[in-house]
Chains A and B, each alone.
Chain A
Amino acid sequence: MTSEQNQFADSVACALAEIGATQIKFRLSNSQPVWQFELLDGDYVWPLELCPVGWNFFRLPSVNWLTSLPVWGWPHISGSGDVCVSDREGLDYDPSDIMGVLSWLLSEVKRLLREIHGMSNCERLSLFADELEGYLKNLGARFAQLDEQFAANQSVYAEVHNQKLGLKTVPILRRVNAGLTALVNCQQVRIGLLDVSIHQLPPLKSELDANWWQQFLSCLDESQHVIATSPKHRGLVLRVANNYGHALLTMYWGNRGNKKPWGATVYLLQRQDRDYLIRRTGGTVLDRHVLVAGVGAIGSRVAEHLVLAGVSKLTLVDQDIFSADNLGRHVLGKDAISKKKVEALASFLAERMPGIDIVPEATDIQRLIDKGIPANVDTIVLATGNAPLERAIVRQAYREQWSVLIVSTSVEAVGLGGHVIAMRPGTAGCLDCLYIDPETQQPIPSMRTALIKPGQVVTRQLTGCGAFTPYTAIDATRTALIAAEHVINQTLGYSRWVGDTTQATNANISPSDTYWALRSQRIPTFLSSSDFTHLECPCCSA
């Protein structure tokens, strides 16, 4: 041991002694320090083991309860006796404060063990059911995917991959589904879906044998017994009721024939359904149908963030083909080259968020509008990069009183900033308001809040053919995030952001007065609809 390790060991031992630990024994386990000791707590003596990760407290050490293993049915205690005093999320402390950290940790361990010990068996099991999945994870159970939620009495299938290991073939459960999906190289196998209570489960391990099965069957009622023993089933999804709904696990035994004794592998089902994933972000699924017109650098990112935010349906409209030129700032990668942007993006987004309903429309937005806006569209994002086209669409929407939120978004060249204008037909404050000079009341050719001084050439060439507007993926993402927020919150108004002038200076491009006013915070980056409404606007004030 190094002098630092010795010093750490001495500090921990001293702190343990000071806290009241007795029978302190130090050992190395796989070169890691471990202390065994007893902790007196009233009439109880808890035999414990302290296992830091390395020779410091940079990560909170684990504390094991040294009792007969595996521990089954005790909430907050893993099968190996690890006492979970905290989920280790968001903890903050001074790792050099050995005494302080240990004092807090061991008092929490004592409190937890005392509380759980004082519970009835029924109370303990009830709380334990909440943590059943975590318990199985710590036991080393395998994982399988679950992309959807099941209704009662629904047929359930397992997608099983037969993996060759030498001369043997081992079935591996990849995914559980409702029969509508199929992974490549997987066999679709019928399994049962059984609702049980935690009290009906004998202690679980990652591999189950015939004794466990018999014990389990003996705890089931008649109808459960029928499902569990159905000859059609090659396994069972167990839904174990708990305070969060239910814990999910699958026992897969496959086709064992009559000669082999019963045996099953336990799989934890990794939920990947949209509702679950969105709730993990702190959000909720949004019953929205958003049409994104233009899925370039901004539109693709708006779509991505809407999907991740829980929007239930997207219609993507763009007739462009993805090319290698797009790689520098688009969400799609090389796999999408030569594919229709909307189709490649739809596939990409379906992978990002299982269960999302995406309709790719490889057509021009005006042609689509001429045919009619798809049913139930409640928001239209215009990210076409074509201001006259977007103004025409907005005018039509106001004229025809479309019942939608329209979000027009664009980015300025050379990192100077971006614009998001969110408007709703019937409410004053629209894109056209920004194309009228308030002094002369006359239309002007460019948006009066442009961040680049008018009359400058901003497009660039690298090959002599193929002009492009220089802006980065970061510029597109910043703009897209603001647009996505307007969609998610259904906020009307005008949001803009401004960057610095580094790129503009290098490119010899002069920012506009509006840019400087925003940059120096003389004017706000967000305007409500009424703030930018032009009273004589032919579109929204007509």
Chain B
Amino acid sequence: MAHAQTQFENFHNEILLGYDESSVLRDRRETLLNDLKNNISKDAPKYETFNQGSYALYTGITPIAGDPDMDIGVIFECAPEDYPDPLTLKKYVRDALTRQNRTVKIRRPCVTVTYFKDGEATHHIDLAVYSVNGNDQTQLARCRETDTKEDRAWEASEARELTSKIIDRFKDNDRQQFRRVVRALKRWRDNKIGHKNVPSIGLTVAAYHWFTPKYDSVDGKPLDLIAMRDLINQMLSNWGFSRLVVKLPVAPECDLFERMSDTQMKDFKERLETLRNALNEAESQPDTHEACKILQKQFGDDFPVPEKSSTTKKTSSGVSVSGRSA
């Protein structure tokens, strides 16, 4: 029975991309925020910024191709009533950031800064614009320039609360395993489905709802393979007639997979079942080498396959100091 825990942990170290660890990400963020600070209109109210998305949640991974994207929240010190047209604040942000080698576009949920190299888009940074209402609840500016005034709206969106909830859901070793499993699942998604078709936050929140930490009951070592298999089984058992509904645990409490088409949803389910079966098959292997070959097919080449252990040659176990006595 193989759990390939060492390989799961090595895989995680390989795909891990954290804001704290990446100077590239930190530099990009600092540059952008400096531009915002230096160039924003004097008419704009004061604001503060925060990390949101996978870097805030410690579930970021390196993309298979290209540079990583990033999410930043910008909270203006004003109420929605102060700016009935939320586009005004988004324009302040856009105008402050527009430079050469990048385009800044106002999209419905955010202001997107896209970077180019040799004429090719390499990565983007999304800035979500918020105000705060009388109940201290953050409101997201949802609008495009092309929207009519009636369609421009402030929508309850508790991004910071979501981050706290997800981070506080598990502690210590449980939290570490949660993050490893979410990152592995996201890489599997990138590998098998494509980054855009199943949103990362949907996978993260599904794990928030249904992940249970798993350990080897004998020596207490984590069992990521079992934890992931059980999470997938939970997701599959929560599948409705044709769709999996994963609701945000904070406002606006929407279904995070609502934009997936039925075809995408069907494909997602089938691939999850395949992944679950692969995890079961890997677990049943007597040899970790064989188990990892099965897992690599699901997670991609970053999942390591150790050399086949010899069944005829005994490895010397040596001598150790046990510290046990009677």
A-side interface residues toward B, CB under 8 Å? Answer: 294, 296-299, 383-385, 387, 409-413, 419, 434-435, 438-452, 454-459, 469, 471, 476, 494, 509, 513-514, 516-518, 520, 522-524, 527, 531-532, 535-536
- Determine the distance from Cα of A531 to Cα of B216 in the docked complex, in whole angstroms: 10
Interface CB pairs A-B, < 8 A, 21: A296-B325, A299-B326, A384-B326, A387-B324, A411-B325, A435-B317, A439-B288, A441-B286, A442-B309, A443-B314, A445-B320, A450-B323, A452-B323, A456-B321, A469-B325, A514-B219, A516-B173, A516-B220, A517-B219, A522-B173, A523-B216
**Once the chains bind, are B220 and A471 in contact (CB under 8 Å)?**
no
**Once the chains bind, are B309 and A440 in contact (CB under 8 Å)?**
yes
Q: Which residue of A lies closest to B174 (CB)?
A: A522
Residues in B41-63 with C-beta less than 8 Å from chain A: none
Contacts of B318 in A (CB 8 A): 445
Q: A411-B325, A411-B326, A454-B320 are in contact. Are A439 and B218 (CB under 8 A)?
A: no
A300 CB to nearest B CB, Å: 10
- Determine the distance from Cα of A286 to Cα of B119 in the docked complex, in whole angstroms: 88
**Once the chains bind, are B4 and A439 in contact (CB under 8 Å)?**
yes
B11 CB to nearest A CB, Å: 14
Residues in B180-218 with C-beta less than 8 Å from chain A: 213, 215-218
B142 CB to nearest A CB, Å: 43
B14 CB to nearest A CB, Å: 18
Contacts of A299 in B (CB 8 A): 326
**Once the chains bind, are B317 and A410 in contact (CB under 8 Å)?**
no
A508 CB to nearest B CB, Å: 13
Residues in B263-290 with C-beta less than 8 Å from chain A: 286-288
- Determine the distance from Cα of A518 to Cα of B217 in the docked complex, in whole angstroms: 9
Contacts of A442 in B (CB 8 A): 309, 315, 317
B8 CB to nearest A CB, Å: 10
**Once the chains bind, are B218 and A531 in contact (CB under 8 Å)?**
yes
- Say yes or no for B79: interface residue by CB 8 A criterion: no
**Once the chains bind, are A410 and B324 in contact (CB under 8 Å)?**
yes
Which of the four size classes fits the interface of chain B? Answer: 20 to 34
Other 4 A-B pairs with CB < 8 A, given A513-B219, A517-B215, A524-B217 = A297-B326, A413-B324, A445-B318, A450-B324
Contacts of B174 in A (CB 8 A): 522
**Once the chains bind, are B323 and A412 in contact (CB under 8 Å)?**
yes
Contacts of B309 in A (CB 8 A): 440-442
- Say yes or no for B24: interface residue by CB 8 A criterion: no
**Once the chains bind, are B323 and A518 in contact (CB under 8 Å)?**
no
**Once the chains bind, are A447 and B218 in contact (CB under 8 Å)?**
no
- Determine the distance from Cα of A440 to Cα of B306 in the docked complex, in whole angstroms: 10
- Determine the distance from Cα of A438 to Cα of B2 in the docked complex, in whole angstroms: 7
**Once the chains bind, are A439 and B5 in contact (CB under 8 Å)?**
yes
- Determine the distance from Cα of A384 to Cα of B322 in the docked complex, in whole angstroms: 14
**Once the chains bind, are A447 and B321 in contact (CB under 8 Å)?**
no
B175 CB to nearest A CB, Å: 12
**Once the chains bind, are A446 and B325 in contact (CB under 8 Å)?**
no
- Say yes or no for B6: interface residue by CB 8 A criterion: yes
**Once the chains bind, are A439 and B3 in contact (CB under 8 Å)?**
yes
B93 CB to nearest A CB, Å: 45
Q: Which residue of B lies closest to A417 (CB)?
A: B324
- Determine the distance from Cα of A439 to Cα of B318 in the docked complex, in whole angstroms: 18
A542 CB to nearest B CB, Å: 15
- Determine the distance from Cα of A278 to Cα of B288 in the docked complex, in whole angstroms: 53
Pick from B220, B288, B325: contact of A522, CB under 8 Å: B220
- Determine the distance from Cα of A147 to Cα of B317 in the docked complex, in whole angstroms: 54
Q: A439-B5, A522-B215 are in contact. Are A456 and B323 (CB under 8 A)?
A: yes
Pick from B213, B287, B288, B326: contact of A410, CB under 8 Å: B326
Q: A442-B309, A445-B318, A535-B1 are in contact. Are A434 and B218 (CB under 8 A)?
A: yes
**Once the chains bind, are A458 and B321 in contact (CB under 8 Å)?**
yes
Pick from B2, B315, B317: contact of A439, CB under 8 Å: B2
Contacts of A456 in B (CB 8 A): 321, 323
Contacts of A409 in B (CB 8 A): 326
Pick from A438, A516, A535: contact of B3, CB under 8 Å: A438
Q: Which residue of A lies closest to B291 (CB)?
A: A439
Contacts of B213 in A (CB 8 A): 522
Pick from A296, A514, A532: contact of B326, CB under 8 Å: A296
Pick from A385, A410, A435, A523: contact of B220, CB under 8 Å: A523
- Say yes or no for B172: interface residue by CB 8 A criterion: yes
**Once the chains bind, are B325 and A385 in contact (CB under 8 Å)?**
yes
- Determine the distance from Cα of A410 to Cα of B324 in the docked complex, in whole angstroms: 6
B58 CB to nearest A CB, Å: 20
Pick from B172, B173, B218, B286: contact of A532, CB under 8 Å: B218
Contacts of B259 in A (CB 8 A): none
Q: Closest 8 interchain pairs by CB?
A: A517-B220, A385-B326, A458-B323, A469-B325, A445-B320, A446-B320, A443-B317, A410-B324
- Determine the distance from Cα of A434 to Cα of B213 in the docked complex, in whole angstroms: 23
Q: Which residue of B lies closest to A381 (CB)?
A: B326
- Say yes or no for B169: interface residue by CB 8 A criterion: no
Pick from B172, B216, B324: contact of A412, CB under 8 Å: B324
B216 CB to nearest A CB, Å: 7
- Say yes or no for B65: interface residue by CB 8 A criterion: no
**Once the chains bind, are A520 and B172 in contact (CB under 8 Å)?**
yes
**Once the chains bind, are A536 and B286 in contact (CB under 8 Å)?**
yes
**Per-residue interface assignment for chain B, residues 87 to 123, with 1 indicating a CB less than 8 Å from any chain A CB and 0 otherwise:** 0000000000000000000000000000000000000
Q: Which residue of B lies closest to A297 (CB)?
A: B326
> Of residues B6, B213, B286, B315, which shows the largest number of chain A Cβ atoms within 10 Å of its Cβ?
B315
- Determine the distance from Cα of A522 to Cα of B213 in the docked complex, in whole angstroms: 9
Contacts of A450 in B (CB 8 A): 322-324
Pick from A294, A413, A531: contact of B323, CB under 8 Å: A413
Q: Which residue of B lies closest to A435 (CB)?
A: B317
Contacts of B28 in A (CB 8 A): none
Contacts of B3 in A (CB 8 A): 438-439
A515 CB to nearest B CB, Å: 8
- Determine the distance from Cα of A435 to Cα of B324 in the docked complex, in whole angstroms: 14
> Of residues B5, B287, B326, which shows the largest number of chain A Cβ atoms within 10 Å of its Cβ?
B326
- Determine the distance from Cα of A456 to Cα of B220 in the docked complex, in whole angstroms: 20
**Once the chains bind, are A440 and B218 in contact (CB under 8 Å)?**
no
Q: Which residue of A lies closest to B288 (CB)?
A: A439
> Of residues A299, A383, A446, which shows the largest number of chain B Cβ atoms within 10 Å of its Cβ?
A446
- Say yes or no for B297: interface residue by CB 8 A criterion: no
Contacts of B315 in A (CB 8 A): 440, 442-443
B298 CB to nearest A CB, Å: 19
Q: A439-B4, A439-B288, A442-B315 are in contact. Are A419 and B324 (CB under 8 A)?
A: yes
Contacts of A383 in B (CB 8 A): 326
Pick from B4, B217, B287: contact of A441, CB under 8 Å: B287
Contacts of B218 in A (CB 8 A): 434, 448-449, 494, 523, 527, 531-532
- Determine the distance from Cα of A457 to Cα of B286 in the docked complex, in whole angstroms: 35
A445 CB to nearest B CB, Å: 4
B225 CB to nearest A CB, Å: 11
Contacts of A297 in B (CB 8 A): 326
- Determine the distance from Cα of A300 to Cα of B152 in the docked complex, in whole angstroms: 82
- Say yes or no for B221: interface residue by CB 8 A criterion: yes
**Once the chains bind, are B217 and A531 in contact (CB under 8 Å)?**
yes
- Determine the distance from Cα of A412 to Cα of B286 in the docked complex, in whole angstroms: 32
Contacts of B6 in A (CB 8 A): 439
A526 CB to nearest B CB, Å: 10
Pick from B314, B317, B319, B321: contact of A457, CB under 8 Å: B321
Contacts of A412 in B (CB 8 A): 323-324
Contacts of A443 in B (CB 8 A): 314-315, 317
- Determine the distance from Cα of A302 to Cα of B3 in the docked complex, in whole angstroms: 38
A521 CB to nearest B CB, Å: 10
A390 CB to nearest B CB, Å: 9
Contacts of B1 in A (CB 8 A): 438, 535
